[in-house]
Amino acid sequence: MVDIDPITGLPKDLLDFEEIAKENQKVIISTVRRRYGKMVTIVDGIDDKSIDIEKLAKTLKGKCAAGGTIKGRAIELQGEHKKKAAQVLEANGYVVEVI
């Protein structure tokens, strides 16, 4: 028997809410100069609570070969990685704006 979503009335296997959430968000990537002239890339705008931000941060840190942290709903990467972070996020289905 097919599970039916009570909200939409459609079969649950047809619905992919995570993809819809990714497409509706606009992720902003910017860089900031911190102490001692070090650059930090900030990925902000991931507001949906259903998206696992720790998993996304781990993916970004691995692809950019950099350390980083999560502060609130923003991901901070050590170094200047705007282009690489934008490529990784676009490959995962996000709409990206680079500042």
Q: For 27, what's the count of Cα atoms within 13 Å in the CB-facing half-sphere?
A: 27
- DSSP tag of 77: E
Contact predicate 39/30, CB 8 Å: no
What is the tens place of the pLDDT at every residue in 41-77? Answer: 999 988 777 678 899 999 999 999 999 999 988 999 9
CATH hierarchy code of domain 34-98? 3.30.780.10
**pLDDT averaged over every residue in the chain:** 85
Residue with tokens 């720790």: 54
Dist. CA 73–CA 91, nearest whole Å: 20
pTM of the model: 0.75
> Which residue ranges make up each domain of the chain?
34-98
pLDDT in tens, 29-39: 999 999 999 99
Asked if residues 86 and 96 have their Cβ atoms less than 8 Å apart, the reply is yes
